[in-house]
Structures are given as C-alpha cells and as structure tokens.
Amino acid sequence: MLEATMTVRLDEGEKTLIADYAHTLGTSASQLMRRCTLERIEDEIDVDAYRAAKAEFDKNPISYSNDEVLREFGLS
C-alpha cells in the first residue's frame, strides 16, 4: 500500500507535547496523530448519523417493540 505524506505545522510546545505523549504510549507521533484524527472523524460521523436518525424520528415519532416487529414480519 502506498502511503501519502502530510505536513502539519505545530509550535514547539505542541510538537513536544505530542512527541512526549506518543512516547509514553510506545508509538510514534505520526501513528498517534493518525489514530486520533481517524477516531475523531469516526466520532463525528457517529454524531451526524445520530442527528439524522433523531430528526427522522422527530418527524414521525412511532416506535415498535421487538415483539411487534417479530409479529409484523411473521417471525414470532
């Protein structure tokens, strides 16, 4: 797999903080920043999905119990 490179501009204090924290975790600063960034994106996508589902529910606030769903689909 080809890897791309990105440049991130940090002040010296930020660089030291990230490097020291990565060292305490036994990883590189690059790996730490990659993992944290991807986790943040996933978290925000989860929040967006929740908001969309909540907006849909607010328009039509009908919910069904598990038993009702099973009966509806002939599975009980």
Closest CA to 30 of 58, 59, 10, 50: 10
| pLDDT for the residue 76 | 82
- Tokens, residue 16: 């030291």
How far apart CA 20 and CA 40 sit, in angstroms, is 21
Tell me, what's the pLDDT at 1? 67
Question: What are the b/e assignments for 40-56, b being 16+ CB within 10 Å?
Answer: eeeeeeeeeeeeeeeee
The confidence score (pLDDT) of residue 2 equals: 75
Provide the residue-wise pLDDT of the chain in tens; the chain has 76 residues: 678 999 999 999 999 999 999 999 999 999 999 999 999 999 999 999 999 999 999 999 999 999 999 999 999 8
